[in-house]
Structure formats: structure tokens, C-alpha cells
């Protein structure tokens, strides 16, 4: 599956011409890469979480503690936003980016935190605990 991922990214780069460092890509292009797949999100401190992107605009987020929550995806201009069942009063928005072959997302909150998509595969998520508030 990683070869498919690299092939898609290479195709995107060739069709866009030369890619500048940290070029924003559209939320739709990001979703085209991850829909039906599972993505690992990492920060400098290590793994942040793993998310499976269903084909119906929903996700399943697996935290480092093994618990999972369901998410809803919305697209707002250049941002991809997530609202999760266990924190439905908060929306997390990100700007997808491509730096060479490295896919990442930058938070739109004041932290402007960046998470790298370190892996994409069809691996299924296995949650220790499901449901809100866990």
C-alpha cells in the first residue's frame, strides 16, 4: 500500500509542476489520499494517534492509550475539520500540506502544531475501549 501512496503523491507532484517546500494542498486532495485507509499521525514527540478515514465523511480515531472515538469530517475552504463524539463542543481544523513526499497537517489554532502522516495503509484499527468519554 505504501507504493500506492508514494505513486499518488508522485502523480500529484508531477501534475502540479515543481513542488515548493510545505505547499498547502486542498482538503479534497488530502481526503483522496486517505479515504478508505488508516493514517498514522506523528509529532516531534512521537505518535499522536491513528485515524481510519471511512468513505462516508466519518473517521475513527485511535489514541495512544488504546481508546477510540468516532469523528465527523467537514471541509471549510482550505481546512479539513474534525468533530469527535467525545468532544462534540470542539472542532479541530487542519491545513493539509505536502513537502516533497511528506504529507502533513498544520493546526489552525494558535499553536499551529504540525503532525506528519508517517504511514498510510489499509490496516484495521483495534480499539481497547470504544465510546464517548474514554
Tell me what the mean pLDDT of segment 6-17 comes to: 41
Residues 6+ apart with CB under 8 A from 59: 51, 52, 53, 70, 71, 72, 73, 82
pLDDT, position 103: 96
* Residues 67-78 pLDDT 10s: 999 999 999 999
pLDDT at 111 over 60: yes
Q: Which class in CATH covers the domain with range 2-126?
A: mainly beta
pLDDT, position 3: 43
For a pLDDT cut of 70, what percent of the chain falls above it? 79
Q: Which of 66, 44, 64, 39 is nearest to 114 (CA)?
A: 44
Top-confidence residue, 16 or 54: 54
Amino acid at each position: 500500500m505504501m507504493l500506492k501512496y508514494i505513486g499518488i503523491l508522485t502523480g500529484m507532484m508531477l501534475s502540479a509542476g515543481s513542488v515548493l517546500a510545505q505547499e498547502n494542498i486542498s482538503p479534497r486532495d488530502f481526503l483522496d489520499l486517505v479515504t478508505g485507509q488508516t493514517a498514522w499521525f506523528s509529532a516531534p514527540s512521537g505518535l499522536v494517534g491513528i485515524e481510519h478515514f471511512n468513505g462516508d465523511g466519518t473517521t475513527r480515531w485511535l489514541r495512544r492509550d488504546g481508546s477510540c472515538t468516532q469523528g465527523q469530517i467537514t471541509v471549510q475552504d482550505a481546512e479539513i475539520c474534525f468533530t469527535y463524539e467525545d468532544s462534540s463542543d470542539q472542532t479541530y481544523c487542519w491545513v493539509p500540506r505536502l513537502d516533497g513526499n511528506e504529507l502533513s497537517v498544520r493546526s489552525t489554532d494558535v499553536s499551529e502544531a504540525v503532525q506528519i502522516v508517517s504511514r498510510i495503509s489499509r490496516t484495521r484499527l483495534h480499539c481497547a475501549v470504544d465510546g464517548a468519554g474514554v
